[in-house]
Structure 1
Amino acid sequence: MTTALIELTDLGFAWPGQDELLDIPHFHLQRGETLFLKGPSGSGKTTLLGLLGGVQKPGRGRIRLLGEDLATLSAARRDRFRVDHTGYIFQQFNLLPFLSVRDNVELPCRFSRLRAERAAQRYGSVSEAAGKLLEHLGLHPELLERRADSLSIGQQQRVAAARALIGQPELVIADEPTSALDADARQAFLELLFGECRDVGASLLFVSHDQSLAALFDRSLSLGELNRASKPQEV
């Protein structure tokens, strides 16, 4: 039997003073699976990603990642668990502009001993891991020491992907990472991202409005299919 990487059970969440935003009876993501998650703005996608990362705690229910119930962990332990096991690719990339490309990619390994050890075990050193990941993602080695803010949008996106993947996190979460790219660039980036996730055995949860990408994934879901709070209540 395949063990789920993520499993949500009776998950509920509401911001203070507001109606319930998320009401998810059940959701799972298998190890190594790629999942496309769609939903309109305001549907709770970003909140769900925050819950999966342990940034917020659910009002009720369970969030299991690698068998660990995140709701039972202290804030400090949730932060540690997130950086050890999850890589993020943000819509705006969130690179540190004053750091070099290499330093941006290596950041997770500065905060996670586990990811630093994994990177060194696979590539010999964290620095070598950063260089190899960027090379695999199509970024020329001469760019490694350049400031991150000197790169093109497409190049910054690949740096963000390498940062998410370094140290082989079990889960990669991508939040609208292709919104600034044209169709050809989106396709090329996804092929590279899928390849790297396969190589390290990572699951990929990809959030996007772009329905044209859905067929490329193992599975596609709408947040509305999962979230009872988004559906009109019967009377």
Structure 2
Amino acid sequence: MIEVRDLTFGYAGGGFRMRVPEFSLAEGERVAIVGPSGSGKTTLLNLIAGILTPEAGRIEVGGTEVTGMSDGDRRRFRASRIGFVFQDFALLDYLSARQNIFYPYRITPALTLDAAAKERAQRLADACGIGDKLDRHPAALSQGEQQRVAICRALVTQPGLILSDEATGNLDPASKARILDLLFEQAAEAGAAVLAVTHDHELLPRFGRVLDFAQFREAEEA
């Protein structure tokens, strides 16, 4: 599902550089990434999703080379093929929770917001405990509820790849287990792979493979 080769990246102004000689993720695999804050874990997810572009190297997702796409093509590819749970949720304040969940359909002509998609969204929202809050805007939701909206948005299109950046970070232990169950259940239903950044080591036994970021990247401070 993911093939990364000879990847290099640095932020403008220096201070951080990352090199990933090789990394791969099989279809349907569940992999957790651990490592200290600021080590580049989120940067790697953003590169895989095409939000950031590398200086050099190759990234393939589902057989498609993301690094060779234009900005618009990467955005459409991400919306239709990748479910991304952002650490800061990335909800749009002027949209209701329901409209935020449906946002991928709004920006991607390849997706059709049909009855099945609407039913799936309601089912996901009910499972996340926000089924009765879909008409509220983010400002009227708690942080945990906003996080659940972001999770529903990532899963509603049944993507082949789910990228999760601390998806359960603001939840209580019982909610963490329930959300992870939902994440894995939906991934299994869609045959999707899961690549998750987490600081919660209690969740690591739930994953098929755990990688310390230092095992497959090199970072240097300028």
Length-normalised TM-score, structure 2? 0.90
Match of 1:38 among 34, 37, 62: 34
Asked if the contact 1:9/1:62 (under 8 Å) is kept, the reply is yes
RMSD value, Cα: 2.1
Matched positions, count: 221
Structure 1 CA distance for aligned equivalents of residues 136 and 13 of structure 2: 46
User: Quick one: which amino acid aligns to residue 198 of structure 1?
Assistant: A
Structure 1 portions without partners, runs of 5+:
none
Residue 19 of structure 1 and its aligned partner are, at CA, apart by 6.3
Give CA deviations for 1:15-49 in whole Å, capped at 9, x if unaligned.
24536622111111111111101111221112211
In structure 2, the residue matched to 1:29 is: 25
The 1:222/1:230 distance shift into structure 2, 3 A limit, reads farther
Match of 2:121 among 116, 121, 130: 130
In structure 1, the residue matched to 2:55 is: 59
Give CA deviations for 1:86-119 in whole Å, capped at 9, x if unaligned.
1111223222234222111111111123333xx6
Asked if the contact 2:16/2:220 (under 8 Å) is kept, the reply is no
User: Quick one: which amino acid aligns to residue 43 of structure 1?
Assistant: S
User: Residue 96 of structure 1 aligns to a residue in which SS?
Assistant: coil
Alignment of 1:86-125 (within 5 A): 86-116=82-112, 120=114, 124-125=115-116
Structure 1 CA distance for aligned equivalents of residues 107 and 149 of structure 2: 18
In structure 2, the residue matched to 1:149 is: 139
User: Residue 209 of structure 1 aligns to a residue in which SS?
Assistant: coil
Identity among equivalent pairs (%): 39
Moved more, 150-159 or 28-37: 150-159
Query: As a proportion of its length, which structure holds more helix?
Result: 1
The 1:125/1:19 distance shift into structure 2, 3 A limit, reads same
Moved over 6 A (4+): none
Structure 2 CA distance for aligned equivalents of residues 129 and 112 of structure 1: 18
User: Residue 194 of structure 1 aligns to a residue in which SS?
Assistant: helix
Asked if the contact 1:139/1:158 (under 8 Å) is kept, the reply is yes
In structure 2, the residue matched to 1:173 is: 163
Structure 2 portions without partners, runs of 5+:
none
